[in-house]
Structures are given as C-alpha cells and as structure tokens.
A and B are shown apart, each in its own frame.
Chain A
Amino acid sequence: MATTAERVEREAKLEGVGCARKRKEDPRFIQGKGNYVDDLKLPGTVFGVVVRSPYAHARIKSINKDKALKLPGVLAVLTANDLKPLKLHWMPTLAGDVQAVLADEKVCFQYQEVAMVIAENRYIAADGADLVEVEYEELPAVVDPHKALEPNAPVIRDDIKDKKEAGQGPRRHHNHIFTWEVGDKAGTDKVFQSAEVTVKQAMVNPRVHPCPLETCGCVASFDKVRGELTVYMTSQAPHVIRTVVSLLSGLPESKIRVVSPDIGGGFGNKVGVYPGYVCAIVASIVLGRPVKWIETRIENLATTAFARDYHLVGELAADKNGRIKALRVNVIADHGAFNSHAQPTKWPAGLFSICTGSYDIPVAHVKVDGVYTNKAPGGVAYRCSFRVTEAVHLIERMIDVLAQKLNVDKAEIRMRNFIKREQFPYTSALGWQYDSGDYHTALKKVLDAVNYPALRKEQEEKRKRGELMGIGLCTFTEIVGAGPTKACDILGIGMFDSAEIRVHPTGSVIARMGTITQGQGHATTYAQIIASELGLPSENIQIEEGDTSTAPYGLGTYGSRSTPVGGAATAMAARKIRDKARKIAAHLLEVPEGDLEWDIDRFKVKGVPGQEKTMKEIAWAAYNNVPEGMEMGLEAVDYYDPPNFTYPFGAYLAVVDIDRYTGETKVRRFYALDDCGTRINPMIIEGQIHGGLTEAFAVAMGQKLEFDEGGNLLSNSLMDYFVPTAAETPKWELDHTVTKSPHHPIGAKGVAESPHVGGIPCLNNAVVDAFAHLGVTDMEMPHTAYSVWKTIHKLGLDKR
C-alpha cells in the first residue's frame, strides 16, 4: 500500500489544481522577451496612421490627399471612396447595426476615422496624416442621451434616419436604437401599488475606458502570390475575428490566419473589430506589404471601446421589515454614434438582468432603451461580464437606499433578503438559474473579520464630532462564462470553447485552446487542470493559444469565460484521454477495465499492490502497444457547450475617511471575500483580485470620459484620464470561501472580474454612506475630491 506521505508527494509533484505554482510566462517577460504586436518586425513593413475628425458632428465637404501623396515615403491614402468599390466603407456590427470604417460623407463623433495614410515609417505616416486636407461643415452635436431623445434633437445617423429598426427591434425616434424589456411588468407594477414601502433612486454609471497599458494594434500581411492573409493583432477573440474578416473580405477562412501574440492587457478593450484593423488589412492587400497600425493612447481612449454610460433609475418595493417584494429598473443606455457594443448578439443589454443580485426578489421588471449620441461607438464589458457591473451597482445602491429609508443596518438588510443556501439552484425573477451560493456565510465571515459592530460604533462617534467616515458593503453575484449556446452566440456562432490535448510518447503534453490570455496566466493554470486530470506534471505541459492556424476554434477570452468554458473543455478533453489510457492500462496489465482504479498519476489493479501503470508508461504504450482495434496515439479535442453560466459571488467591505474641507477620500480598509468555486491557482487568483480591485478603485474614485457640449473629449490622455499609480492605490485584504459550481467539471467559476464588478459599488456605497445620516442617497461617480467636496459644500459641512 502506498503511504499517505508518498501519495502527497506524488500529488505535489504534479503541481495541479490548488497549487500556487509560479507562472510559466514570466521568464520571457522579465527579460524583455515578450512578443507584443508592436515588437513584430516583418520585412518590408509599412505604417498606417489614421486621420481623424476634430469635430463630433460634421458633414465632410471634401478630402484632398494631393499634398500627402506628394510627400516622399507616403505610399497611399485610403478614404471611404477607396473602400466603396470593395464595399468595405461600412462594416456590420455584432449588434446588427453598421459602423463606418472610414467616414462616409459625415462624421458622428470626435476622432472618427476619416482616412488612413500608409508610409514607409511611422514618422512619415504621421507627417502625411497632417497633410491630408479635410473640409468640414460643423453640425450641432448631442452628447447627453436624454437630450438625444428630444423631438428636435439633431439627427445623428442620416444613413438610417427613416429606418424603423436598427437590428434590435423597433425604434421610436431618429436617435433611438432599441427597447429591451424583461420580466413581469404588470405583476411588478401591482406590487408597487400596494407596497408598504417604496424607494426610488436615479444614478449614473459614467462613461469610462478599460485603458490597458498596451493600446490596440495589428500587423496585416497579405501574400499576393499565395493569396493568403495573416493578421497579427491584439485580439481577445482571434477566431471570431478571422470569421468576420472572411465574411467582409470574401477570402476563405482557410486562407486567413489571425494570431494574437502576447497581449498587454485587454479588460474588454480588445474584443471588437475596429476600423484601424480593417484599413490595415485593405492596405496590405492593395500594397502587398505588411502594414502595421498601432493606436496612440489618445486614439485608444477616444475611439476604441468605451464602457458603461448607463443612466439608471431603480425602484424597490418592500415590507416594513425591509423584505424586498419587487424591483423595477429603467435605463437609458448611451451607445454612441454606432451600435457596435460587444455583447452576445441576442442581448442588447448584455446580462444586465442579473440585477436582482444576491436577493430573493419575487418579481421584477427591467426596461433598457439604447440611444445614439455624438460619442465614440462601442460599449464593452470593462473587466466584467456584459453589463454586470451596471447591474450590481444598481441593486447594491438600491438596497442601501432601502436600508436608509427604513433605518435598518446595511448588513442586516442584506441578511434579510439573501437567497438562502438551501434555495439553490435558484431561478431569479428575471429568469436566471443561479447554480450555487452561500451568501450568509460569506457576509458573516467578512463582518467578523473586520469587527463590523466596532466600525459602526466608531462611525457614530465620528459623526457626533462632525467627521466623515463611510462604511460600504457590496454582496454581489456575478454571472460569467458565456455561455450556453442555446442562449448565447456571436454572429450566429455559439459561445462554446475548446481544448485540444496531445500527450507525447514520453508523457509531455501540448495543449491548444480557443481562448487567449492577456495576462491571466493561462499557460500556467490550464496546465494545472491537465496535470490533475492526467497525472502528468504541469512542468511538461505546454499551452498554446491565439493562433487560428493551430488552435481549435474558440470564442475567446472576456466576460471571465476562460475558466468556466475553456477550463471545462480542458478538463473534458483530458478525461477523454484518461478514458483511453484506462483501456490501454487494462490491456497492459491484462485485467478487465473494471478492476482498475485511478490513483493520482496511475491506474492500479484494485487490491493487488504493485500491479499498476503510470500515465507516463501508458503514454509510451499508446504509441506502440495498444489493444487490438484501437487507434494509436493519445490525444483528444473537446468543444464544450456549458449547460449554464457560473455565478461567482463575494462580500466586500470598504472603510473610507473623508476630509470635510477638501473632499479628499482615503480608503482606510478594503476587505474582499471572493467565492469562485474551485481555486486552480491561489497565487494567480489573488493577483487577479488585486488588479480587479485596483481597476474598481480607478472607476469609483476617478475615471470618467468627460465631454463638453460640443462633443469634445476632455479626458483623452493619461494626464486627464485617471489611472491610479502605486502611490494612490489602497492595500487590499483578501479572503475566500469555496462553493463549487455543480455543473462545471472541476467546480470552478471564474474570478478575474468579480473584484471590478463588486469593488465599484462597494467604494461608491462607502462614500455615500459617509453622508447617509444627512439624508444623502446617491452621489455622482467618480468620487474625486472636487466631486465629493461639492456634496460637502452643498450640505454646509465645510464651514469652519
């Protein structure tokens, strides 16, 4: 019999699930040997620079490229007229709308793409861009989505002004895109009519930007002789991009290769198809040379992929004990000039209907109206699953407002309304089936850890002295891992994901996935899943992703879907291999399969010590001695269609101290408990949570894409758009519980986005809580010193 110690050692050697193993990807990054798209240097590469509109709304009267074309080194200048014969001046969006690749007759947002200059190097291309002369006739711009819906608001989209629908149902105004409703309207209204208590609150999730440290870019390389196109690009979804490029260009998918090399962070920014990519591809096809296009930071903040811009009104009906009876939500969603948000195609408001949160709410109704404005198009999930941040923000603010109205403690009201552990699987009023959860335990653990009663007592004393201290809570439920293909698709392609695993004769492994890492450490964690499933050390398991020529088709990495979907595919493919390995082991040991049991890294004959075959031995046999009739080799592919989403959750608590004269807010403490089910690599999980909380801090305390009335973007550089440095970032305290997903092969749920989704409402609630005793129920985000000071000043708290 193997001793326990021996088995523990064998298991530890695998560095499988649960091991905080160091990352495989680090050695190249710490030596400056990463391979990001701008590092590529293909022979003969030329550069593209985009000419952009200085106006938010204007008619283009003329474009003159003569001067630019005369500049030595300029090779071409592309405009809408050049793309027209190819029918590429407009491109379809995921949401059923169209977006101008290069402006066709008019521009609808500041910095919109008007032309691309291609030149021998980036300096000449930039010079050339300055020489392109565009004559504009300025039009009145509208940046406020409420104003955009006024009867005589300027028409933003002339191209569809008479159309009764723009891809997502009927429109009721020239700047209206869609109305999306879910839930029981009549039932909800009825509860509100007779409710003991109701509360109502308007709030805004301002327009922000994910701002990864690396901007978007690509190198498009068309081989005229072979008729093959290779595009290296910063994409979170290379396979989908290949399909889109094929549909747009008419080239067969088999002649297109899309490669996502190392990516310098994504956070949603790198999901979409942007005009710069399309222009670079066209330019490469025309010139027959590799064309590189790399965004500047200004272009990045101004044009590719904003997030949020949700203007919400929430209402709760409850009894006098604070038990919620109904939820009603109305949203105006600002989608900018084109409806090109990155969401599953059937979900115009993403998964916003998760907004009943962690609470057992009997009935609810949600209505979202999408609106065009003269702002950049997009609408991505900034480190969150589609619109989940907005949903959590809404319900977590509303429950606080209700607590304030009833004078019930904010932790207590949550406890009273939580879905109970025994209610899982739980179907929410808006139709989601929550797979698992244990909210009471999580919140209690946090309250105990921080000594919540003592904090409230301290706050009470401080309030008496006129000091401002806020305690924020957020007990969120996320919905990630899109998703079941019956509910989720992108342009008709179901949102499955894939893994292909091959075990070599010596027991080392290569595995390829349809997802793509942007810093999440896939090369490390997928290997851990395989190591545990196959009993082969993760050290010798090589993970490859992001090259459409080698990896199986997958939908990519965003919305925390890699672990729930890609990770599941990995486990399933590994299990197929193990099933075959069992047959080979039975053959080698000359026993029926049923006599074998799996033990960490080998099959043993039950009850016969010493009769066993390790996976390493089986791998060798797979290439020379398999049972009769069996194929040689040891490999498997799995395309995993998840039966459900996963529902990670958490309980966060923040303590803030606010200077009553300056409005400066200091985060004294932030305690974050996350439950992401099975924890594959605790070190990486903690790193992801630190990062997500820091991005939440950024959004809550400082980030906003601010526009003036004319549609000029006022925060287009890192000078004006807040990105926290080490100096302002708080210290994070982490904790966890483990509630495994019942339907995921290894019980994992996904984690990287929870801290962002839960962190913003937590910090927001903390700041508002500092003023709650004065009747304040909402404050405008972000909570910069100036913004907080405005509340202070209005309340007269800054009088000496």
Chain B
Amino acid sequence: MAKTHISFNLNGRPVDVLAEPRELLIHVLREQLAHTGPHIGCETSHCGACTVDLNGRSVKSCTVLAVQAQGGNVLTVEGLATNGTLHPLQEEFMQQHGLQCGFCTPGMLVRAYRFLQENPNPSEEEIRTGMSGNICRCTGYQNIVKAVQHAAKRLQAAGGK
C-alpha cells in the first residue's frame, strides 16, 4: 500500500514519518518513533492505555489514524518531564502508590495532565468521572485519585501548568 508522508510535533520536536493511510497513530508512535510509553490494551477505544494528547485534547491513539496527526502536536508520557524534572503528576503517582504493573500508567498520566488543565481544582467525583476513559486493573483507582488530587494542589500552588 502506498505510504504517505506525515509530519507533526512529538513532545515538542518535529518528526517525519512514512506510513500507510490505514496505520494507527499508536503503531506509528511505538514502532516507528520508538515511543513505547503509550500501550495497547484493547484496540477498541475502551481502555485508555494508548491515551496521548493531540492538539490539546486527550485521544485514544488506537482509534486515530496516524495521518490525522498531520501538522499537529502530540504529547506522550515521554514528554511530561521537563529538563529532567518530573511533572508533579509523575511525582505524585509515585508518592501515592498510584501504579502497580505500570501498564495503564502512561495513559493515566497523560489523561490526568489534560484533565487538570480542563479542571484545575476538581472534586473527587469529578476526578473519577474525568479519568473514567482509562482502565486500571491493578490499583482499584483509590490511589490514582489521590495522586491526581495531590498533583492538582501542587500545580495550583505553582500557579498552573
């Protein structure tokens, strides 16, 4: 099948790839661009393991064609830390024991990152609903919710971002 030239920004850096029109963004990220943070848990847009940020919105990259990223901005878990400093969400997932096997974690973090921009001061219930596109089979969510709460406080104290 003929390949298409696709360029976009990945974690702030321009990337160019050749991909078939039918190729999914998750496969291009993982197999061509060596970004294996986002995972595949279902391929049917239910689990959220593949969650990345595309143009300021959370998307499930198993249900997005790579060509749809053309000219866009993609953020994956690999882009959350800045200059070697972990994002408060990453810190708090560790502190609050918000992960076990770690398979859902990249998707959770990237979703939480966007969610806290949509709602910087969420209630517990809002966190539970706002994160409900991401499945975790290990933690029972309680500590993930706690991690997001703590990160929200830290981000607010630091004045957003």
Contact = CB atoms under 8 A, between A and B. Distances in A.
Interface of A: 22-23, 25-34, 36, 38-39, 41, 122-123, 211-215, 262-265, 267, 294, 296-297, 518-521, 683-684, 686-688, 690-695, 717-719, 723, 725-727, 729, 731-732
B103 interface: yes
B129 interface: yes
A691 B139 contact: yes
Nearest to A264: B103
Q: Which of B34, B43, B47, B100 has the most CB of A within 10 A?
A: B100
Given A26-B94, A211-B137, A692-B140, 9 more contacts: A27-B94, A28-B102, A30-B109, A36-B39, A38-B30, A41-B34, A213-B101, A267-B137, A725-B132
Contacts of B43: 296-297
A717 B46 CA distance: 9
A31 B103 contact: no
A686 B105 CA distance: 18
Q: Which of A215, A725, A726 has the most CB of B within 10 A?
A: A726
A302 to B, nearest CB: 13
A690 B101 contact: no
Contacts of B100: 265, 519-521, 687-688, 691
B104 interface: yes
26 contacts: A22-B94, A23-B97, A26-B99, A26-B102, A30-B86, A31-B37, A32-B106, A36-B36, A36-B39, A39-B30, A122-B27, A213-B39, A213-B137, A215-B41, A262-B101, A264-B41, A265-B137, A521-B100, A688-B100, A690-B140, A717-B42, A723-B135, A723-B137, A725-B131, A726-B131, A732-B142
Contact of B47 (A32, A213, A267): A213
A215 B42 CA distance: 8
A690 B139 contact: yes
Interface in B9-52: 20, 22-23, 27, 30-31, 34-44, 46-47, 49
A297 B37 contact: no
Interface of B: 20, 22-23, 27, 30-31, 34-44, 46-47, 49, 76-78, 80-81, 86, 90, 93-95, 97, 99-106, 109, 127-129, 131-145
A27 B42 CA distance: 25
A718 B105 contact: no
Contacts of A263: 101
B104 A687 contact: no
Q: Which of B40, B77, B104, B145 has the most CB of A within 10 A?
A: B40
Contacts of B30: 38-39
A31 B90 contact: yes
B103 A214 contact: yes
A683 B142 CA distance: 12
Contact of A213 (B35, B93, B94, B103): B103
A34 B103 contact: yes
Given A297-B44, A718-B46, A36 B103 contact: yes
A213 B97 contact: no
Contacts, number: 177
A727 B132 contact: yes
Contact of A23 (B27, B90, B94): B94
**A-B pairs, 4 with minimum CB distance:** A32-B37, A519-B101, A264-B103, A29-B102
B69 to A, nearest CB: 18
Nearest to A725: B132
Contacts of B105: 29-30, 34
A44 to B, nearest CB: 14
A519 B102 contact: yes
A31 B81 contact: yes
Contacts of A726: 127-129, 131-132, 134, 136, 141, 144-145
A717 B44 contact: yes
A284 to B, nearest CB: 19
A213 B105 CA distance: 11
Contacts of A41: 31, 34
Contact of B101 (A32, A265, A686, A719): A265
Contact of A30 (B99, B131, B138): B99
Contact of A29 (B35, B40, B42, B99): B99
A262 B105 CA distance: 13
Contacts of B95: 22
Contacts of B142: 690, 729, 731-732
B108 to A, nearest CB: 10
B137 A31 contact: no
A732 B78 contact: no
A729 B141 contact: yes
Contacts of B133: 725
Contacts of B137: 211-213, 265, 267, 691, 695, 723
Contact of B39 (A31, A264, A717): A264
Contacts of A211: 137
Nearest to B127: A726
Contacts of B104: 213
A297 B128 contact: no
Nearest to B92: A30
B36 A39 contact: yes
A652 to B, nearest CB: 14
